[in-house]
């Protein structure tokens, strides 16, 4: 196998984390909407935790993307 082909395969496999982060972000906001419909009074108290969860999940996606670029261009 050519080394360039192995790099591209490795970079493609590293981007699987981006798909997982997309599922995680959808789950976070979906559960927030469901919870805020059940208890609207607590929605404003929980929103900070939702944003924290979103930021941490998005960071995982950015790390996966950086790893894919490092694999591809090194």
pTM, two decimal places: 0.79
Q: How far apart (Å, rounded) are the C-alpha atoms in residues 17 and 33? A: 24
Q: Which CATH architecture has domain 3-73?
A: Up-down Bundle (1.20)
pLDDT of residue 17: 85
Would you say 67 and 7 are in contact if contact means Cβ atoms under 8 Å apart? no
* pLDDT tens digits, 20-40: 999 999 999 999 999 999 999
């Amino acid at each position: 196998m050519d080394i360039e082909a192995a790099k591209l395969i490795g970079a493609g496999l590293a981007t699987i984390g981006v798909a997982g982060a997309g599922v995680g972000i959808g789950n976070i906001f979906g559960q927030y909407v469901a919870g805020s419909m059940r208890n609207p009074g607590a929605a404003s108290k929980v929103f900070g935790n939702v944003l924290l969860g979103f930021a941490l999940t998005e960071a995982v996606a950015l790390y996966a993307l950086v790893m894919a670029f490092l694999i591809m261009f090194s």
